[in-house]
Amino acid sequence: MPRPAIIRFLSGAFAPPFNGLVVLVWVFFVWCFAIHPDTPILKGAFADSDDMIHLVRIMDWLQGQDWFDPVLHRLNPPEGTVSHFSRLAELPLAAIMWPLHQLGLSWQAAAYAAAAVWPLALLGFFLMALRWAAQGLMPRDWAGVSAFVALFAVPTLSQFSPGRVDHHGLVLLLIVLALGSVLRLMEGQDKTRLAIATAFLLASAQVVALESLLWVLMLAGWVGFWSVLKGRIMALPTMAFAASFYVFSALYLMLSVAPSQYFVMTPLAYSGLYVVLSAAVALSLAVGALAAYRCNASCRIVIGGSAALIIGVFFFRHFPALLIGPYGGMAPDLATVMMGNIGEALSAVRRAENYAQLVGLLLAPLFAFGVSLYFMLKADDEKLWRWVLLSLLLLGSLFLMTFYQVRFIRYAALFSVFPMSALLWKGWLFTNLRWQGHRLAFAKVGLILLVGPLLAVLIPANCDGQPLDRRDLLFPVQNTVETPCPPVAVWQMLALPDYYGDKPRLIMSTMNEGAGILFHTPHQALAAPYHTNVVGNMDSKRFFSTENSQDAEKIARARGVDLVLLCKPLPAIYRDNRAETMSLAELLVNRNIPDWLVPIDFPLFENALLFEVRPVSAKTLPP
C-alpha cells in the first residue's frame, strides 16, 4: 500500500538527499513570526530604521525623484542628506510596491506588503544557495542538511525577517553564491565562465553593501592565490575574473551615480573610489596570472605577492581612510557619537556586560572555527585548500565581531553553517558505524542538538541570566517590539490634515525617531542614524543634551523647528551623566517644560512626547 504524500515528503526531507528540508525550514521560520505576539511588522513597526529609509527612498523614486539623486531631501533640510544605499538593491521592492499602489493601496500600505513578502522570498533563495555552496565541501546528497543548520544561525537568518528590507539579506545571498563559485573554481578545470560569474557576484555585493568589502577582497584575493598556486591551468580564468571584476564595478558606477559624480572619491557610498579599488585588485590578479604562463611555483609566488603588496601600498597611501572600512570618512564628532552608542557598532568585548554574555556571543562561531580547522587538518589534497579558505573567512569574521563591530556576527554565523553541516554528515556516518539501538539513537539526538540548538540557542539563552521563555522557543524572532514608540497614534496625529498633516513641518527628534517621521508622515526630520547626516545629527545632539534650555531654543529657532518629538526611556547620548544637572531631554521626560514649548497631550501617546514650538510672536527670543 503506497504511503500518503505527506509521509513521503517528510521522509524525504529528513533523509539524504534532504529534498523538502528547505521548505520545512522556511515554513517554520514564517510560522514563528506569524504567532509571535511581538513581531514588529504585525504591530505596524520595523525592527530597524534602515528598513524605513529604504522604503522612503523607493516611494520618493516612484513618485518622481531622479534615479541618480541619492539625497533624502526631507532629512536635514534644506541641504538634505546623501544616502549610501543602492537603488539597484531596492528594485525588487519597487517591483512589488508599484503595482500594489496602482491597485489602490497607499504608498505606505504597499510598502508594508512588500516588506512582509520580499525578505521571505529572499530567504528561500538563500537556503537553496547554501545547499549549492555546501556541495563544494561535502557530498551532494548531504549538502541539503545545511538548511537545518542555517535555521540556528540566528544572527544570519534574522536578516530575512518579515519587514527586514535592508540590504543585509541580499548581500548575504551574494556572498554565499560567490563562495560557492570560488569553491568550484578550485576543482582544477578551466572555469572561465565561472570566473566571470564570480566577478559579477562580488562586484554586485560591493555595490549593494559596502560592509561586504572585506569578503569581496578575501574571495578575490583567493582567486589570485589559487592562480599562483596552480599555475597555467588557472591563468585564463584569473585573467577573465580580473577583467570582469573591473568592468562590472565600473558598470555599476554608471548605473548608480550621475556622470558628474564619476570622479568623486568618497568611501561613504559607492563611488569612483571603489572602481579604483577594483582596478587595483584586477591589476594585481592580472600580474599573477601572467606570471603563471612563464614561471614556476616559487617565481609565481614572488611576482604575485610583490604585485599585490606594491599595488596595495600605493592604493592605501592615496586613500588611507579606507583602511578602517567604509566608515573611515566619517566626520570625527559624529563618529564618536554614533559608533559609541549604536549597539551593533560596538565590539563584542565592549557590548557584553559580563563574561557569560561574551561566551554566549562567541561560543557557536568559535566551535565552528575549531571544527573547520579539524576538517582542514584531516582533508585530502582535493579538499584541503577549500577548508583553509573557509577557516580564514571564519577567523576574519570572528576577529571583526570580537574587536571591531559585533554586527559581523551575522557573517561568523553564516560561515559557521558549512563546518557544522559537515560535522553532522561525518558524525552521522560515524555513529552508524559505531553504535546500534538506544546508544545510536542517543548519539544522533546529541549530534543534532550540538550542530543546532545547543550552541546557538540554548547555551546563549542561559548566558543572559533570564529564564527560558518564548524568545527562546521562537528563536528566529530576534527583534521584537512590545510597545512601539512612537505609537501609531503619534503618526496619525502628525499625518492627518485635521491635526498636523495640513502642511510640511520640521521636527526635532532624537536619531531613533527620524526614519519613522519620514516614512509615516509628510514632515521633515533633522536627525536619523546615518553617517552622512553630520549637521542634523549634531544639532539634535546639542539640542537634547544641553542643560540650558535657552541654548536649545536658539538651535530650534535657527533651524526653523516646528515640533519636538522624543521617546522615553532616552538613549544614553541624550542624558547628562552629572548627578546635579539634567539635559533638556531629561527635563522634558520629567515634565519640566520650558515656556517656549507647548506639550501636546493625548491618551494614546504612551511613551512618546510631542511638543509644539511657540511662534516667535508668542515668545521673545532670549538675549
Question: How does strand 524-525 pair with strand 81-82?
Answer: unpaired
User: Is 468 among the domain residues?
Assistant: no
Average pLDDT of the residues in 578-594: 85
pLDDT attached to residue 469 = 64
DSSP 209: -
Pairing relationship of beta strands 563-567 and 524-525 according to DSSP bridges: unpaired
**What pLDDT sits at residue 461?**
79
**337 lies in some domain:** no
- For 455-510, what is each residue's pLDDT tens digit? 888 888 777 666 666 667 888 888 888 788 899 999 999 999 989 999 999 999 99
Provide mean pLDDT across the span 404-416: 94
In a domain, 499, yes or no: yes
For residues 406 and 540, membership in a common domain is answered with no
* Residues 196 and 295 placed together within one structural domain of the fold: yes
Whether residue 33 is contained in a domain is answered as yes
Among the residue ranges 76-80, 288-292, 421-425, the one predicted with the least confidence is 288-292
H/E stretch holding 548 reads none
State whether 188 and 139 are in the same domain. no
Residues 438 and 523 in one domain: no
Tell me: do 8 and 131 sit in the same domain: yes
Residue 469 is assigned to a structural domain of this protein: no
Inform me whether the pLDDT recorded for 619 exceeds 80: no
Q: How far, CA to CA in Å, does 259 sit from each of 68, 72, 218?
A: 9, 20, 30
**Whole-number Å distance between alpha carbons of 573 and 577:** 9
Q: Is the previous residue joined to 599 through a cis bond, with omega within 30 degrees of 0?
A: no
In a domain, 309, yes or no: yes
Is there a single domain that holds both residue 195 and residue 304?
yes
Residues 191 and 293 in one domain: yes
User: What is the tens place of the pLDDT at every residue in 120-150?
Assistant: 999 999 999 999 999 999 999 999 999 999 9
End-of-domain residue from the set 462, 497, 526: 462
**Inside any domain, residue 597:** yes
pLDDT value of residue 190: 62
Flag whether pLDDT at 49 surpasses 50: yes
Is there a single domain that holds both residue 105 and residue 6?
Answer: yes
Q: Do residues 327 and 353 both lie within one domain?
A: no
Task: Give the model confidence (pLDDT) of 308-355 as tens digits.
Answer: 899 999 998 888 888 777 666 666 776 666 665 666 778 888 888 888
Tally of CB atoms within 10 A around 557 = 15
In this prediction, residues 12-34 reach a mean pLDDT of 89
- Higher model confidence: residue 470 or residue 430? 430
Q: Determine the average pLDDT of the residues in 261-267.
A: 92
What confidence score (pLDDT) does residue 286 get?
A: 92
336 falls within a domain: no
CA distances from 607 to 44, 109, 589 (A): 16, 25, 9
User: Which pLDDT band holds residue 623 (cuts at 50, 70, 90)?
Assistant: very low
pLDDT in tens, 172-225: 999 999 999 999 999 866 689 999 999 999 999 999 999 899 999 999 999 999
The per-residue pLDDT for 606 is: 87
Distance CA 349, CA 340 (A): 13
> 72 and 215 share a domain?
no
Mean pLDDT, residues 592-610: 91
Domain count, the chain: 4
* pLDDT, tens digit (0-9, with 9 covering 90-100), for 535-550: 898 999 999 999 889 9
- Among the candidates 331, 353, 369, a domain finishes at 331
Examine the fold and report which residue of 331, 350, 368 is the final residue of a domain before the chain moves on. 331
**388 burial via Cβ count (<10 Å: 0-12, 13-18, 19+):** middle
Percent of the chain with pLDDT over 70: 91
Q: Average pLDDT, stretch 165-173? A: 96
**Helix 213-230 and helix 192-208, axial crossing angle in degrees, nearest 10:** 160
Residue 1 reports pLDDT greater than 50: no
Domain ranges, residue 575: 488-618
Same domain, 27 and 158: yes
Please give the model's pTM, rounded to 2 decimal places: 0.94
Q: Are residues 232 and 154 in the same domain?
A: no
